[in-house]
């Protein structure tokens, strides 16, 4: 049956959009290709979402999911392959089925970027990981490296430092994008050190990770950091490939949509980390979900 609004992606943006569509009196089907929750489920501690001094990303998003379900959100686990305009609505085609709606909200977020260095692919799962929360415990009392300088890298390093022997933060610049408060907390830890202004050349190891090899930008010298585990947190790639022929994306693949969340195609809206915008936080994802949800609801009237 044709829905009023289909929301693709069940992270904080998509789930918030569902709440607003439903409260505006319209039907909402949320389609998610993986588990609901989005990237924040990998954050063990969230301390910058109003209303909670400290909550795990999983607990936070679980509450929002239950809230949307209680309002009547329909939920489908399916990987969306395409969205097409048909008549006065849209057909969303997934691996399992096709779905119809008057309006569509793209809230697919982004996935972790790879470093793209020698050894990374081969040693993935053998010491190379993209999720500290998922794999960190394997490195209890061991030495780990976190690559990156954003909030994810700093949060990963903080999490790992609670039980690893040592954590080295390896970053390509001296400056960090992540929150200064978190950076200061890490600098005070005895088992955390920094290797900055370097390029990672290789992740080396015969059958599992043994070390990271880098070049120092200032001296040009090669260096090595021995490690059992290497966590890559060097940013994200938007999950928008499936709509690249329908709506306008920027050169990095983010959906071009303004603060009204409207794309260049009437009836399609974008919310959360997949939208081109300067600040990507849980709060701004929720804000996008609100705007896109209300706009999509209005569009169907």
Residue 150 CB, nearest approach to ligand NAP (Å): 2
Q: Which two tokens stand for residue 120?
A: 């990374």
135 is catalytic: yes
User: CB of 256 within 8 A of CB of 135?
Assistant: no
Nearest-angstrom CA–CA distance, 212 and 202: 6
Closest to ligand NAP by CB, 85 vs 112, is 112
Residue 148 CB, nearest approach to ligand NAP (Å): 4
Closest to ligand NAP by CB, 214 vs 299, is 214
Closest to ligand NAP by CB, 3 vs 280, is 280
Nearest-angstrom CA–CA distance, 247 and 300: 19
Residue 91: beta bridge partners? Answer: 84, 100
Number of H helices, E strands in the chain: 6, 17
Q: Rule CB under 6 A: which residues touch ligand NAP?
A: 43, 46, 48, 113, 115, 148-153, 155, 172-173, 177, 233-236, 280-282
Residue 115 CB, nearest approach to ligand NAP (Å): 6
Q: Who's near 13: CB < 8 A, 6+ residues apart?
A: 38, 107, 109, 271, 272, 273, 285, 286, 288, 289, 292
Q: Find the catalytic residue in 30, 59, 131, 261.
A: 131
Report the run of H or E that residue 6 belongs to, with start and end.
strand 3-8
Residue 78 CB, nearest approach to ligand NAP (Å): 26
Residue nearest to ligand NAP (CB): 150
What are the helix (H) ranges across 121-206? 132-135, 151-161, 180-187
CA atoms lying within 13 Å on the CB side of residue 184? 3
Closest to ligand NAP by CB, 73 vs 233, is 233
Residue 90 CB, nearest approach to ligand NAP (Å): 29
Residue 200: beta bridge partners? Answer: 214
User: CB of 36 within 8 A of CB of 74?
Assistant: no
User: CB of 143 within 8 A of CB of 44?
Assistant: no
Beta strands 198-204 and 211-216 are antiparallel
Q: Residue 217: how many CB atoms within 10 A of its CB?
A: 14
Residue 128 CB, nearest approach to ligand NAP (Å): 14
Q: Residue 266: how many CB atoms within 10 A of its CB?
A: 10
Q: Find the catalytic residue in 4, 30, 135, 288.
A: 135
> What positions carry a catalytic annotation?
131, 134-135
């Amino acid at each position: 049956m044709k829905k009023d609004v289909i929301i693709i992606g069940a992270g904080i943006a998509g789930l918030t959009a569902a709440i607003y569509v439903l409260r505006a009196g319209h039907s909402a089907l949320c389609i998610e290709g993986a588990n609901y929750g989005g990237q924040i489920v990998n954050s063990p501690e969230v301390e910058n979402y109003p209303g909670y001094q400290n909550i795990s990303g999983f607990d936070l998003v679980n509450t929002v999911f239950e809230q949307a379900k209680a309002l009547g959100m329909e939920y489908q686990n399916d990987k969306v392959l395409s969205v097409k305009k048909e008549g006065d609505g849209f057909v969303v085609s997934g691996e399992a089925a096709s779905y119809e709606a008057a309006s569509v909200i793209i809230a697919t977020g982004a996935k972790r970027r790879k470093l793209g260095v020698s050894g990374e692919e081969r040693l993935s799962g053998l010491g190379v990981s993209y999720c500290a929360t998922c794999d960190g415990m394997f490195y209890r009392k061991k030495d780990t490296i976190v690559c990156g300088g954003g909030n994810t890298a700093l949060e990963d390093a903080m999490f790992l430092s609670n039980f690893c022997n040592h954590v080295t933060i390896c970053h390509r610049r001296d400056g960090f994008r992540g929150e200064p408060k978190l950076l200061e907390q890490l600098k005070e830890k005895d088992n955390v050190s920094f290797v900055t202004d370097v390029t990672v050349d290789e992740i080396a190891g015969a059958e599992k990770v043994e070390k990271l090899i880098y070049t120092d930008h200032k001296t040009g010298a090669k260096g090595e950091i021995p490690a059992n585990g290497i966590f890559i947190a060097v940013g994200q790639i938007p999950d928008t490939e499936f709509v690249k022929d329908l709506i306008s994306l920027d050169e990095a693949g983010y959906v071009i949509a303004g603060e009204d969340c409207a794309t260049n195609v009437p009836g399609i809206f974008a919310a959360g980390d997949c939208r081109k915008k300067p600040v990507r936080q849980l709060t701004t994802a929720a804000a996008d979900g609100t705007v896109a949800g209300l706009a999509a609801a209005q569009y169907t009237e």
